[in-house]
């Protein structure tokens, strides 16, 4: 007989929700593991949070140039972040902490919003900054400002480089939890959700998971629903973390080409991938790249399902994403396949 176990709590500035459907004999060990998760997340944040003055990441960010021995957690997440920068040709850039701070994101988002000049207005087209001429992408493969050796835990930084690992840290945490749950119950149905970035699986005899993708242009409406048996989903959105700083509206997706919040015409991107880290990296990258360059990149990434939403309500999806859509696109948005 199948049993449902789960947990929900706040960590990493979001809600972590885990649900597992499993055989009765696995319930107790799964409950024990789920009960340990809040403590584990606290330990992870003590390593990776840029807002904690005592965290290991802060120690690296405020330290002088040189060689540091770092924890396994920090080494793994820095490695993933640097690899993401390489595969996205530098569009996913973990070294833009200074630019985030210049845009006003120099403390937790709750604190940023508490001091923001006014409340965010309803989005209308008059508020949208159109993208100007984009500079050509520059590869960061020659950027040796920070390196990591996972086998020895040796991190080298130069030029005063500082890191922000927020998004990729959350994806890494979801993947870690998912892998542990799979180890504890190989035939379980699992869904690990961290504020909409999630990883899931259903055994061959189980029912698929149905994932709703919100429409950020229409409050309270869903854009579509996805039907998945396994994989990961992540959404990046320029409206979710948005504030006013020095008279200008800012958001948290920094374009490495300009050093400022992205001004592409993409308001949100949802990606289906094999891991949450991969989905999170590419969702953010698509928002920054914009539609034209995003489509160009995705044509070389047939393993990814992707949806891109423009400020005008246009939805662009690729073939892999079309294959997992359960409900058609709703509202005024139009769809175009690429």
Segment of 206-215, 271-280, 323-332 carrying the highest mean pLDDT: 271-280
The alpha carbon of 1 is separated from its chain's Cα centroid by a whole number of angstroms, namely 36
The alpha carbon of 67 is separated from its chain's Cα centroid by a whole number of angstroms, namely 28
pLDDT digits (tens, 9 = 90+) for 258-267: 877 878 889 9
Indicate whether 122 pLDDT > 90: no
Q: Which range among 79-93, 155-169, 285-299 shows the weakest confidence by mean pLDDT? A: 285-299
Indicate whether 274 pLDDT > 90: yes
pLDDT for 139 equals 31
* pTM for this entry: 0.86
Higher pLDDT, 9 or 334: 9
The alpha carbon of 114 is separated from its chain's Cα centroid by a whole number of angstroms, namely 24
Q: What percent of the chain has pLDDT over 70?
A: 80
Please give the domain boundaries of the chain with CATH numbers for all domains. Answer: 1-48+166-201 (3.10.520.10), 208-338 (3.10.520.10)
**SS3 (DSSP) at 314:** strand
Number of H helices, E strands in the chain: 9, 19
Q: What is the pLDDT confidence band of residue 136, given thresholds at 50, 70 and 90?
A: very low
Read off the tokens for 259.
């050093």
Q: Mean pLDDT, the chain, as a whole number?
A: 83
Indicate whether 156 pLDDT > 50: yes
Tell me how far apart the alpha carbons of residues 131 and 268 are, in angstroms, rounded to a whole number: 15
Q: What is the mean pLDDT of residues 109-128?
A: 49
Tell me how far apart the alpha carbons of residues 245 and 287 are, in angstroms, rounded to a whole number: 21
Strand segments (E) across the chain: 2-11, 14-23, 66-69, 146-149, 154-157, 189-194, 197-201, 209-214, 222-228, 230-237, 242-245, 248-251, 254-255, 260-261, 266-273, 305-310, 314-317, 325-327, 334-337
């Amino acid at each position: 007989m199948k049993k449902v176990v789960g947990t929900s709590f706040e960590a990493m500035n979001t809600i972590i929700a885990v649900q597992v459907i499993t055989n009765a004999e696995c319930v107790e060990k799964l409950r024990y593991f789920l009960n340990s998760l809040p403590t584990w997340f606290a330990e992870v944040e003590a390593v990776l949070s840029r807002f904690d003055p005592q965290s290991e990441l802060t120690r690296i960010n405020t330290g002088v140039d040189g060689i540091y021995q770092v924890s396994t957690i920090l080494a793994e997440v820095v490695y993933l972040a640097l690899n993401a920068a390489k595969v996205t040709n530098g569009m996913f850039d973990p070294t833009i902490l200074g630019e985030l701070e210049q845009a006003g994101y120099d403390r937790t988002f709750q604190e940023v919003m508490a001091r923001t000049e006014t409340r965010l207005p309803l989005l209308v087209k008059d508020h949208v900054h159109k993208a100007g001429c984009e500079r050509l992408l520059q590869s960061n493969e020659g950027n040796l400002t920070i390196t990591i050796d996972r086998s020895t835990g040796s991190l080298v930084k130069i030029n005063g480089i500082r890191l922000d690992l927020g998004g990729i840290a959350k994806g890494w945490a979801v993947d870690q939890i998912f892998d542990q749950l799979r180890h504890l119950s190989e035939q379980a149905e699992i869904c690990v959700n961290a504020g909409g970035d999630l990883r899931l699986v259903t055994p061959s005899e189980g029912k698929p998971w149905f994932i709703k993708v919100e429409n950020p242009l229409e409050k309270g409406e869903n854009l579509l629903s996805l039907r998945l048996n396994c994989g990961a989903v992540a959404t990046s959105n320029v409206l979710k973390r948005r504030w006013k700083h020095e008279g200008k509206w800012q958001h948290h997706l920094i374009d490495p080409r300009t050093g400022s919040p992205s001004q592409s015409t993409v308001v949100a991107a949802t990606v289906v991938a094999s891991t949450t880290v991969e989905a999170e990296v590419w969702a953010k990258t698509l928002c920054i790249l914009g539609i034209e360059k995003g489509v160009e990149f995705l044509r070389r990434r047939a393993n990814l399902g992707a949806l891109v939403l423009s400020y005008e309500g246009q939805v662009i999806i690729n073939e892999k994403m079309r294959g997992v859509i359960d409900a058609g696109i709703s509202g005024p948005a139009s769809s175009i396949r690429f």
